Structure 1
Amino acid sequence: MDHTEWTDRQDERSVTVDGEARRVAYYDAGDADGDDRPVVFLHGIPTWSFLWRDVAPALADDYRVLAPDLLGYGNSANADAFDRSIRAQEAMLDAFLDGLGVDAVTLVGHDIGGGVASRFAAHQPERVANLVLSNAVAYDSWPVEFVNDLSIPGAVSRMSSDEFEAAFDFAFADGVHGDADPDFVEGMKAPWRSEAGRVSLERCAVATNTSHTTELDYSNITADTLLLWGADDVMQPVEYAERLADDVGGGAEIVELGDAYHWVVEDRTETYVDALRDFLD
């Protein structure tokens, strides 16, 4: 599935949040009536829900799967002048689930999506039965240099087309283990090419507030927790997973996936799906 097909699946699905008609676009598949605990996938920066293109559909035969675009990302609202921090995304997630009439969930979060999932699971433990974190931000592990560079006013919006393509090829084409799938690289670039998208990316980057994970008491997380981690990630190294395993209140299992960098979902898709399915089953 390429990013245009993914967007087509989102076109008739949105939830408004924040009391100001901010649109949250989302992917929805599986049986909406047959499973009262859907699996919700949360992406990071600078990605969008398309990150889950080969994972969420693979689980749709057995679960309802939901993959929202965080506010300011993908096809969700990206107008200027609103908070895009993970604390704000946590509030978005709460409103998003309420808008769909969803109570208990399984959360699967990557990168800052993992930070959002951790906050939600710590603050509303009764709503999160299972938690999966993959190369997630935690403690003071973030923001990383690449994201910091994007947060400088004008850093993205003033890039030439060649500079933009080079920067995102560095992040996605060169950032995977082995040869990159062109559909993945193109899909990750697509939302940021417009003028509004570039400004939104700068705002998303500057909103990466370390305090929102250093303030978190991970012992309040009671969900069954899986730390499904790309073992060769230098941005969110596996040592943070080991620390989380000690601190999460309900305990956590670590599964390290070799031959995988930060984009573990892309690097080891089949193995990732198998490990996720084993955990949920």
Structure 2
Amino acid sequence: MSDATSPEIGSNVVAAGVRTNYHDVGSGEPVLLIHGSGPGVSAWANWRLNLPVLAKRFRVVAADMLGFGYTDPAPDHRYDLDVWTAHLVGLLDELGLDRISVVGNSFGGALALSLAVRDPDRVERLVLMGSVGVPFEITPALDAVWGFEPSLEAMRGLLDIFAYDRSLVSDDLARLRLRAATRTGVQEAFAAMFPAPRQAGVDALTIADDLIRSITCPTLVVHGRDDQVIPLENSLRLLELIDDARLHVFGRCGHWVQIEHADSFNRLVVDFLS
């Protein structure tokens, strides 16, 4: 499949000065989906099983964040929570989304939290799935994800880490993700985001407890019990910090809740956002 025919490519808009690839489907109350930070990730790859279902009830926007997928890299090669949040705000401004619900996955959870504490009037409801954003000691799995060096063997190993159900992982899927991760400029941008020592990357995505406690919007926290990448303790901490929060934990599930339990996840999110 060529880039020109890839389902990962949606529409384009210039957000915060950066050409940004995004998908905009459905109608109704707006919902923003923010993907995670795995190598070769894109909004479509992350949310492909969720977009068509959520779009039956909502206007759903899923964008490739700065430096990921088919969105351009940062012009100065600087990546941090402030830069990613500024790009996200620029995207919302360009699309005229003044008040939205936000679903953040892993790294995307930290961006969702950042938006909620910096611009609380903009966030209607919040869903955090396997989220970063609170302090934790980096897991060996996350260190491997952020330290990815391109090879089919390495990509297959990462996919095995992400999924509890290994039947979801194949060499064909690993080849597709490896191709996405090695497009021109993509690996260079990814390597610049989380250099060693990668505990510093975790710390840089952490938001102060008092700021998280200030979140007042209804919040759904979701986690896979068997997640090797982001510890379940993160979600327990978010449940403790956010007053209007509820937690749903999926057993027999790794870091891919939205894929491994897509039907249940979609129902849970639709019900919560409705």
Q: Normalising TM by the smaller chain, what interval?
A: 0.7 to 0.9
The residue number in structure 2 matching 1:133 is 128
1:161-240 correspondence runs (5 A):
164-178=151-165, 179-180=167-168, 182=170, 185-206=174-195, 208-215=201-208, 217-240=211-234
Q: State the TM-score, normalized to the length of structure 2.
A: 0.86
Tell me the distance in 2 between the aligned counterparts of 1:91 and 1:80: 14
Range 107-116 or range 225-234, more displaced: 225-234
Aligned-CA RMSD value: 2.3
Tell me the distance in 1 between the aligned counterparts of 2:114 and 2:215: 9
The residue number in structure 1 matching 2:25 is 29
In structure 2, the gaps of 5 or more residues are none
Q: CA deviation at 1:94?
A: 0.5
1:1-281 correspondence runs (5 A):
5-8=6-9, 10=10, 13-19=11-17, 22-31=18-27, 35=28, 37-46=29-38, 47-49=41-43, 50-78=45-73, 81-141=76-136, 143-148=138-143, 156=149, 159=150, 164-178=151-165, 179-180=167-168, 182=170, 185-206=174-195, 208-215=201-208, 217-248=211-242, 250-281=243-274
Q: State the TM-score, normalized to the length of structure 1.
A: 0.84
In structure 1, the gaps of 5 or more residues are none
- Deviation digits for residues 87-137 of structure 1, max 9, x if unmatched? 321111100000011110110001110000011011111110100000011
Tell me the distance in 1 between the aligned counterparts of 2:12 and 2:6: 16
- TM-aligned CA distance change 1:246 to 1:79, over 3 Å: closer
Letter in 2 for 1:29: V
Q: CA deviation at 1:214?
A: 4.2
Range 187-196 or range 85-94, more displaced: 187-196
Q: Is the 8 A contact 1:87 1:212 kept in 2?
A: no
Range 67-76 or range 139-148, more displaced: 139-148
Q: Is the 8 A contact 1:29 1:60 kept in 2?
A: yes
- Deviation digits for residues 43-70 of structure 1, max 9, x if unmatched? 1111221210011221111100010111
